[in-house]
Amino acid sequence: MSEVTLRQLEYFAAVAETQSITGAARRCHVSQAAVSLALSQLEQALGVSLAIRRRGKGVSLTPEGQVVATRARQMTDQVADLAAVLDQVHGQLSGRLVIGVFRTLAMHAVPVLVDWFTTRHPQVELDFVEGSGPDIQEAMLAGRLQLCVVYEAQVLPDCTAELLMETRRQAVLSPEHPLAGQRTVSLAELAPFPAILMDEEPALQRTIAEYARAGVEPDVRWRSASVQAIHNVVGRNLAYSLLMQPSPVSPEGQPLTFLPLAGNSSTNSVMAALPAGVTRSALVEESLAALRAHWGTAGPLTRPGGPPTVE
């Protein structure tokens, strides 16, 4: 096997992350020809095809390429971490950090991380990828991200997870709703009233199944993938919903009431998902420190990957 260089791995990790030769060249501040040459040399050195180049459609990784991309990202991160360790001596971190965030958690996690790194480590190049829980974790396992913020039910088996905040789903209602004055509320009590539910699978499917187990059928008038839109509809007292993260008011400024669901003892906590068996870089550890500080987690509490029974 020919010699594999760190530069080849760096360029290939950028190709895997951007899924584009052009994007990788831009990311690494080199020409497209340099990235293409490095990719070809790496394929020749390893004796396998790592990527399928499609004119006008970017780059798709082969199965071998997906494996190599994960390792390439880990190795380049570890090398970058050497500089970060030296920077830590002077109280500063640097380098590129890409974090995946489940789309409904972005409004909570992104501002915290931006504030934390801008204030404490302005030399860090921070970026985010928002999407579904499985999609962002697959991107992380493919080497394109270093950390994901997801719900417990979404953690994939190939990931380890660290608790950031213990949460349970609650009913959200307008204070004018007939059930708003109760201490708790059941699905059976909610079922006759109009509902707007989170349009996110598998959460929606599991929610409907929970109503069925309770022997009732909800009056689902609307569905939305936007938490803010749901808050506004509920704030106008047009429907109730079931959500994880409490908020005192809607974006329109209307008050909201969150009530525990009667008999709901299962958690679906906010978790940091990481690739299993991968050494954490200083940047990842700093991210976890920021998220723990925000959500009030005393310290790391890891749980194995794989979904619990509810979401």
**CATH number of the structural domain spanning residue 32:** 1.10.10.10
Q: What order do you get walking across the sheet with 124-131 strand by strand? A: 124-131, 95-102, 147-151, 270-275, 159-165, 302-303
Domain count, the chain: 3
Q: What span, in angstroms and rounded, lies between the C-alpha atoms of 223 and 138?
A: 26
Query: What number of other Cβ atoms are within 10 A of residue 7's Cβ?
Result: 15
Residue 278's pLDDT is: 77
Q: Is residue 77 one of the residues assigned to a domain?
A: no
Q: How confident is the model at residue 164 (pLDDT cuts 50, 70, 90)?
A: very high
Helix axes 63-89, 282-295, angle to 10 degrees: 80
**At 240, which CATH number?**
3.40.190.10
Q: Of 22-26, 32-36, 192-196, which one has max mean pLDDT? A: 192-196
Write out pLDDT tens, residues 258-276: 999 997 656 788 999 998 8
42 domain residue, yes or no: yes
What percent of the chain lies above the pLDDT cut of 90? 36
Strand partners, 216: none
Omega prior to 202 cis, within 30 of 0: yes
CA quadruple 61, 63, 68, 71: dihedral sign: positive
In a domain, 146, yes or no: yes
Rounded (10°) angle between helices 6-18 and 63-89: 110
The parent domain of residue 233 ranges over 170-260
Does 182 lie in the same domain as 137? no
Q: Residues 180, 256: one domain?
A: yes
- Cut 0.95: pTM above it: no
CA–CA gap between residue 24 and residue 11 (Å, rounded): 7
144 inside domain: yes
